[in-house]
Structure 1
Amino acid sequence: MIETLSGQPLNVVICGAGKIGHLTTVLFKQLPDVNVTLLGSHPRLPEAYQQHGKRLHALLPNGEMLTATPDCVTCDPAEACRDADVVIITVPANFRADLLARIVPHLPADKPVYVGAIPGFCGFDWLAERELSARPNAVIWGMKDVAHIAFDLLPGQSIKMGGEKATLYVATHRRETAASQQTLMVLLQRLYSAPVVLLPDYLEITLTPGNPIMHSAVIYGLIGPYGQWHARPLSQPLCWWNDCPELGAYYLERMDEENQQLCAALETRLGVRLDSVLPLKQEIIDAYGDQIADAHTMLSVLRTNQAYHGIGLPLQKHDAGGYVFDTQHRVFQEDIAYGLSLLVTIAENLAVSVPYIEEVYRWCSDYMGTSTQDRPDYFPPHWLTDEMN
């Protein structure tokens, strides 16, 4: 089957017409024998695409402009998914369940379909298992992080590409066979120029320290009960990392230590190895190396990483002047409501104390106006028992 797939046109569906969706579409269309469909949710997407000559453009870091004509740009899941071989979901975690509900009835039932999320955090494997129950032929996978940085999106028109990951890490749901994993690796290596490495366990994606603890710690350090801007608007727009407060870096390190404790507990309870889940500071240094001017402390790593330079906080103007956080932004609706809450749930199941994570999660949830009990409903109730059997 692997030989056959390698020699035939590959039908890829990109779900989510945001920055990553647009860039991935353009890059994949540079490859031979790859049919690419871009599935969006807004009816203006195909209109904008047609009005601009049915061309998508991607500006590369070296100034080169790539142009692509996808095989289909649509909002119709039936049109998009009927011949899919690979489905890549790029929408935020808080939109994944609705998206899967839209596409599942239209996925082929007579061949393997490789359904993955980029990035694959927030427990995508558990959600996909539930939503894809009617498609046992689906192979569930996720990528540890985005393959490329993308920015300056003009929907249906153009996107700019930033940095590119040197190595890509993926994992599959625990139910998948070695044969399915092998085929997936062949398909992904066909699509991506960077080496693709298969991780032993999906938990390595779920527990990789990233946006959920990074963003929430900075928010807490800035406007939490001990922050400089607690209960008052920011006087001017700030950047995530250039302006990261010392308190935010402190909480980030404490939360990262608790995440490592979760990994250690899971390794003991389940007998798995989560070797790729490194402490966050080391993850950042390994990823960005000489782009970091001062790697001495967590605070200096964040503030002097050139790759992080100038990334603004998601703010909106306050009626009384100044700026406040936009709580509808994905850093709240995805990173905190899904990512951070999942870590709290895992800790509760393991009976591991994570006081810093819980403190930040409780405060951020209250700031958003949501209950800490209002968590994603796809966490398997008997997960730990099932995994141990």
Structure 2
Amino acid sequence: MMAQLNVVICGGGRTGHLSAVLFKQLPGIRVSLLTNNREVIERHAHAGISALLPEGGTLSAHLDVVSSDPDEALADADVVIITVPAQARPALLHAIAGSLPKHKPVYVGAIPGFCGFDWLAEKALAARPNAVIWGMKDVPHTAYALQPGVSVAMGGAKSTLYVGTHERESGPARQALLAHLQRLYAAPVELLAHYLEITLTPGNPIMHPSVVYGLIGPYAQWHDKPFAEPLCWWTDCPELGAYFLERCDEESQLLCKAVEQRLGVDMSSVLPLKQEIVAAYQEQIRDPRTMLSVLRTNQAYDSIQAPMMKTVDGYVIDKENRAFHEDVAFGLAVLVEMGRRLDLKLSHIEEIFNWNVAYMGGLRSSALDYFPQTWPA
């Protein structure tokens, strides 16, 4: 009989809800949810949470702990999974650091692990040397239609899950982490050689800002114009958005090559974005020919709405959304700073970053707050 595994999920959003329900289907898994959402906490006192499956049907679960108290949620934690947006991670790590167990390894990771989470966690958990820092390249499933504390809908699943650890972690710690994650996830889990393979994997930090730029940037059809109705991120992606996305992806690949040359890190696992999406979703993509067709015909991306606000004149892109305060301030900022440190000109990435920062009203906080001063030394 396998020993009990105590899993703590930090964050009551879509990924947190779905992960909690799926983990509770497994034998010997104790699941705690740390959230500040009082509605979720109060509802869970007398009802479970359901996951709506893509093929129909539901899975339900009653979690072991749902609390806003880190001491209660993290008691005897083995695996801690952080699912809050990148801009909320610094405060969360500060809040939980003192509550982590001290007497055993505790595996603290982020899903997804982008935006330099390894650097942030190293700094925030300096007083917890028993913490094993890790991240997953992407979410295991897309999730949508969240009703907090009630239900969440499961979307497309990744065919393989890729995990990286902080470069300080030992071989035995990496293997122990892998064993825990293989127990939690149905899909195969593979360990990456270096965390930069996650940090530089193309994803939301170039996807959302590029599409926004293609929708309402200075060359866009809807520049300074409201929309008549809400849009979906990907099924309504304009050709111009796909164009800028491909230019940013090309520059991201140049950045990978510069990192390889400077640091001697094998970045061959970091594929161009279109290849990454096709490899992840496979038959769920009806037309894999071009970037535009991949975005528009990926069933896992169907019905994912862009962040819109209704005004008296129509709909506008919501500049308070995480597409800006996470993907620009904590995602794209990392790429811009890496390019600067490596003396590499990233013309499109810099242009799109600067425009998005101006649109969102400037940076409040960013990944530059914890980007290592000594990198790339």
TM-score (norm 2): 0.97
Match runs of 1:1-389 below 5 Å: 7-50=2-45, 53-319=46-312, 321-371=313-363, 376-385=368-377
Q: Could you give the per-residue CA deviations for residues 123-181 of structure 1, whole angstroms, max 9, x where no partner exists?
A: 10000000000100000000001111212212122222122212110000000000100
**Aligned equivalents of 1:24, 1:355: Cα separation in 2:** 38
In structure 2, what is the Cα distance between the partners aligned to 1:7 and 1:308? 37
Alpha-carbon displacement from aligned partner over 1:288-311 (angstroms, at most 9, x marks no partner) = 333333333222222233332332
2:24 partner letter: K
| Change over 3 Å in CA distance of 1:372–1:41 after alignment to 2 | closer
Q: Deviations over 1:264-318 (max 9, x none)?
A: 0111111111121101111122223333333332222222333323322110012
Give the aligned residue type for 1:353: K
Structure 1: unaligned runs, 5 residues or longer: 1-5
RMSD: 1.5
Distance 1:33 1:244 in 2: 43
d(CA) in 2 for partners of 1:24 and 1:305?
22
SS at the partner of 1:384? coil
Q: What is the aligned-residue identity percentage?
A: 59
Q: Distance in 1 between matches of 2:38 and 2:289?
A: 49
CA displacement at 1:244 relative to structure 2: 1.5
Q: Could you tell me how far 1:374 is from its partner in structure 2?
A: 5.9
- How many residues get paired? 377
Asked if structure 1 preserves the Cα contact closer than 8 Å seen for 2:5 and 2:78, the reply is yes
1:99 corresponds to which letter in structure 2?
L
SS of equivalent to 1:140: strand
Runs of 4+ more than 4 Å apart: 371-375
Superimposed CA distance per residue, residues 29-54 of structure 1 (whole angstroms, 9 cap, x where no aligned partner): 1111111101101223211212xx23
Structure 1 contact 365–372 (Cα < 8 Å) conserved: no
Question: CA distance change for structure 1 residues 250 and 137 in 2, over 3 Å: closer, same or farther?
Answer: same
1:334 partner amino acid: E
Counterpart position of 1:3: none
- Residue 198 of structure 1: how far off its partner (Å): 0.2
In structure 2, what is the Cα distance between the partners aligned to 1:235 and 1:24?
Answer: 36
* Counterpart amino acid of residue 13 in structure 1: V
The structural deviation recorded for 1:372 is 9.7
* Preserved contact between residue 159 and residue 281 of structure 2 (Cα < 8 Å): no
Q: Decide whether aligned partners of structure 1 residues 294 and 191 sit closer, same or farther in structure 2, where only a CA change above 3 A counts.
A: closer
Q: Alpha-carbon deviations, 1:53-94, whole Å to 9, x = none?
A: 231211212223212111111111111112111100000000
Separation in 1, partners of 2:289, 2:40: 46
Contact 1:172/1:201 (<8 A) preserved = yes
Counterpart contact for 1:59–1:159, Cα < 8 Å:
yes
In 1, Cα distance between equivalents of 2:363 and 2:96: 30
Quick check: 1:213–1:340 contact (8 Å CA) kept in 2? yes
1:373: Cα distance to partner?
A: 9.2
Q: Does the CA contact (< 8 Å) of 2:156 and 2:281 recur in 1?
A: no
AA paired with 2:356? C
SS in 1 for 2:316: strand
- Asked if structure 2 preserves the Cα contact closer than 8 Å seen for 1:362 and 1:372, the reply is no
In the alignment, structure 2 segments of 5+ residues that lack a partner are none
Shift of 1:7: 3.5
Q: Secondary structure at the match of 2:369?
A: coil
Distance (whole Å) between structure 1 residues aligned to residue 67 and residue 355 of structure 2: 40
Describe the superposition over 1:316-335 as per-residue Cα deviations: whole angstroms up to 9, x where unpaired. 0123x111111111111101
Structure 1 residue 371: Cα displacement: 4.6
